[in-house]
Structure 1
Amino acid sequence: MGQARVPTETEFRRLVAVASQGRHGPRNRAALMLSYLAGLRVGEIASLQWGNLVDVDGKVREQLRLSATVTKGGHARVVFMNARLRKEIEQFRTSLSATPAASQPLLITQKRTRFSANTLCQLMRGWYDLAGLDGGSSHSGRRWFITRLAHSGISPKAIMMLAGHRHLSTTQRYIDVNDEIMRAAVEVL
């Protein structure tokens, strides 16, 4: 199995439109944005509680702390949430019928239970299928996040830290290069 597809900007917009439809659209959109705008793994997203994202005053946090128990490498890390992601989280919260408790899971299934990483992974895969994006998976958002940072000139060390990787070689494997990116690169000269 190859690496997860990294959508183009147009494909990303189509994917967001597909995920945002229906009764669970706000929840689905929030999950997608945590993947794309914070580079979180599906298991990390599934483990989140409202208290991880919202402080005691009801304000969406600028930083999210992931404990070692929920990260792939078993190392706690800080995830920075940009203004766009904070706005997405706030919109999701306002779409709910009641203010969630800090201990409540961020994402709840139709059966009113916490998502498992596997169930969320399958749900995300369905969005890619509906959007007609072959090769897309729950890891596409993470690859998009890392690729966009790399092509924006962000320090490789900073990207490595944001991704929660221990080795730069791991981070480099996530970076996608396509004709559009190579065309833009030579235009810099």
Structure 2
Amino acid sequence: MAQAKTLTQNEVDQVLRYIATKQRYAIRNRAMLLTSFYSGMRVGEIASMRVCDIRNEDGTIKNEVRLSSSQTKGNVGRVVFVNEKLRTELASYLHFHKPKTNTEPLFFTEKRIGFSANTMTQWFFWLYKKAGISSASSHSGRRTFITNLANKGVGVRVLASLAGHKSLNTTMIYIDTNDDIKRRAVELI
């Protein structure tokens, strides 16, 4: 199976424009998409999150999401760091969504139930397809997150930790390269 496509900023913007103009649940869809790109979480991790995982008791968005072993691949809990951009997106989403309880799913389907990992995987597939981005999948946000950080000089050990990988080799597979990246690299000499 081919690796998920790493999206350029122009492609991410293209998907965001599609969401803004063509989507019934635009605020939710934007938050789901950007959670993938800004956190590097797996689709199953995103689908498993509840409101209490990301919102403090005072209503603010947490700086860190502590995923339990049941929410992650490999049954090992991990911490996901939430940057300011994602905190802003999630706060906007929750302002719109207004959950009744902290234990309800963070993201919900049209039927007002939580997404399963499989349902969310299909959701990402169709979103990218309808937005005109070929070869993208539910893993594209995660792969783009890791690649972008690597291109900004973040070391592979930090990347592995952020991704929840046990092996540096696994993380290295995620890092995409292209001719523009190589051109910029040789100019550093």
Q: Which moved more, 1:105-114 or 1:18-27?
A: 18-27
SS at match of 1:3: coil
SS at match of 2:73: coil
Superposed displacement of residue 70, structure 1 = 1.3
Deviation beyond 4 Å, 4+ runs, structure 1: none
**TM-score normalised by L of structure 1:** 0.96
- The residue aligned with 2:173 is 173
- The residue aligned with 1:146 is 146
Q: Output the CA distance in 2 between the equivalents of 1:100 and 1:79.
A: 25
Asked whether 1:130 is paired with 2:91, we answer: no
- The residue aligned with 1:80 is 81
Q: Which runs of 5+ in 1 are unaligned?
A: none
Q: In the TM superposition, what are the counterparts of 1:89-128 in structure 2 within 5 Å?
A: 89-96=90-97, 98-128=98-128
Asked whether 1:25 is paired with 2:29, we answer: no
Would the aligned equivalents of 1:50 and 1:100 in 2 still touch at CA under 8 Å?
no
Superposed displacement of residue 99, structure 1 = 4.1
**TM-score normalised by L of structure 2:** 0.96
Superposed displacement of residue 133, structure 1 = 1.3
1:147 alignment partner AA = T
RMSD: 1.1
Q: Which runs of 5+ in 2 are unaligned?
A: none
Q: Output the CA distance in 2 between the equivalents of 1:41 and 1:94.
A: 24
- The residue aligned with 2:61 is 60
Q: Output the CA distance in 2 between the equivalents of 1:144 and 1:18.
A: 19
Q: Output the CA distance in 2 between the equivalents of 1:79 and 1:122.
A: 23
Deviations 1:117-174 (A, max 9, x none): 1111111111111121111000000000000111111121111000000010000000
- The residue aligned with 1:155 is 155
Q: Output the CA distance in 1 between the equivalents of 2:171 and 2:27.
A: 30
